[in-house]
Amino acid sequence: MIEVGIFGATSYTGLELISLLVNHPYACIGFAASFSKAGEILSDSFPKMPPLPLISPGEADLSSVDLVFLCLPHGEAAETAIQALEAGCKVIDLSADFRLKDAAVYKQWYGKDHPQPDLLADACYGLTEITRESISGCSLVANPGCYPTSVLLPLYPLVQEGLLHGQVIVDSKSGVSGAGRRPKETTHFVSVNDNFSPYSIGRTHRHLPEMEQVLQDWGSGQTGMLFSPHLLPVSRGILSTIYAPTKNGTNLDTLHNLYQSTYQNEPFIELLAPGKHATLAHVVHTNMCTIGIALADSTVILTAALDNLIKGASGQAVQNMNAIYGWEETSGLIFTGGHHAST
C-alpha cells in the first residue's frame, strides 16, 4: 500500500481523484491539501465526498507520502512539483506544466516563463496506452490534456501505419467542467445553457502545440492541424470528430482491423463496429475512450468520446499511477456507481 497526497483537493479533478482513490486497492490518501478550504472537512462542502480533513498546502508533509497528484492551475503545479520531487515523491501533474518539452513553446502559449524549465526533460507524457513503458520508471508524469487524449488515442493507429496523408481537422465539444471550477462570464449558466459555442478555433487553443508535439514524436509529419473546440451545455464529457485524410485505397474493414489489433487488449478503449459513432453516453462517469470509425472517400472520420474529468484527467492519472507501480492498470478504476462528487 502506498500513501498519496493531493494538491488542489477541491478542484473538479481533485474531487474526482479522491472519489477514485477511496476505492483504490493499493493506494490510500495521506493528505488532501486545499488553498481555499484548508481547515475544513471535505464533506461539509461536498456532501457526496468522504469526510477528509483538508490541510493547507504549506502544512503538507511531503516526506509522509510516496506520490503526489497536482490538480492545480498551470504555473502553480510546477512550483509544487519541484518541492515534491526534492522530498523524494513521485509526481503526477494534471496541469499543462510538463506537457510541452520546450520552455519557449510554453512561454508562447501560456504567456509566461516556465517556472521550472530544468525539469522539462525529466517529464514523461502519460498517455498511458501508448507510453506506459516509459512511465513505469518515471518520477514526473505529465498527464495529457483532456482534448489531446480524445484526439491522440484515435489518431495513433493511423500514424503508426503511416496512413495520414494531409491536414487533420479536429472538431471537439466539451462539457463545462472542462473549464474548471472558477466561474467565468463564458461559463456562467446563462451563457452556456441552451447554447452551443465555438471558442479558440483553428490554431489558437493551448492544446494544439501539445497534440502537434506528440504527433511529431510519433513521426507523423503532420503540421498545420486545425483544432476547433466548442462548449456544450452539459456538465461533463468530450466528443471529438476527427477528419483524417489518408492515401487512396483504404477501406473500412481494413481500418477497423487495424484499430482492433492496436487496441484489442486495452481495457479502457472501446472500439465500435464500423460505421457506429461514439457518443457522450458511451463514456460519462467512466475511464473509457470510445472510438468510432467511418470513411468518406479517402477521409477517415473518427469519433472519440471520453469523460474529461476521468479519462481526460483523474482516471488517466490513476491509470498512470498504476503503470508507475506495475499494478493492474484497472486498479481503482472499476466503476460501481460510487462517489461522483464534482458534477
Ligand X SMILES: NC(=O)c1ccc[n+]([C@@H]2O[C@H](COP(=O)([O-])OP(=O)(O)OC[C@H]3O[C@@H](n4cnc5c(N)ncnc54)[C@H](OP(=O)(O)O)[C@@H]3O)[C@@H](O)[C@H]2O)c1
99 binds ligand X (CB under 6 A): no
Order of strands, edge to edge, in the sheet holding 124-125? Answer: 54-55, 27-33, 2-7, 67-70, 90-93, 140-142, 124-125
50 binds ligand X (CB under 6 A): no
**Positions marked active-site:** 146
Whose cell is 521550472? That residue is 116
Report the residue number, 308 or 331, with the smaller CB distance to ligand X.
308
Site residues for ligand X, 242-281, by CB under 6 A, read none
Main-chain phi, psi angles of 197, to 5 degrees: -130, 135
The rounded distance, in Å, linking the Cα atoms of 285 and 338 is 10
Question: CA-CA distances (angstroms) from residue 182 to 12, 111, 194?
Answer: 10, 20, 21
The rounded distance, in Å, linking the Cα atoms of 105 and 99 is 11
95 binds ligand X (CB under 6 A): yes
Residue 11 burial (10 A CB sphere; 0-12, 13-18, 19+)? buried
Q: In angstroms, give the least distance from the CB of 206 to ligand X.
A: 9
308 binds ligand X (CB under 6 A): yes
Report the residue number, 6 or 158, with the smaller CB distance to ligand X.
6
Number of residues near ligand X (by CB under 6 A): 30
Contact yes or no for 232/173 (Cβ under 8 A): yes
Contacting residue, 181, 256, 285, 339, with ligand X by CB under 6 A: 181
Contacting residue, 4, 5, 8, 291, with ligand X by CB under 6 A: 8
Contacting residue, 5, 13, 222, 305, with ligand X by CB under 6 A: 13
293 binds ligand X (CB under 6 A): no
The rounded distance, in Å, linking the Cα atoms of 219 and 97 is 23
Report the residue number, 9 or 168, with the smaller CB distance to ligand X.
9
Report the residue number, 112 or 182, with the smaller CB distance to ligand X.
182
Q: By rule CB under 6 A, what string of x and - marks binding of each residue 21-40 to ligand X?
A: -------------xxxx---
148 binds ligand X (CB under 6 A): no
| Amino acid identity for residue 236 in this structure | R
182 binds ligand X (CB under 6 A): yes
Distance of CA 207 to the CA centre of its chain: 11
Task: List interacting residues with ligand X (CB under 6 A).
Answer: 8-14, 34-37, 71-74, 76, 94-96, 145-146, 177-178, 180-182, 308-309, 312-313
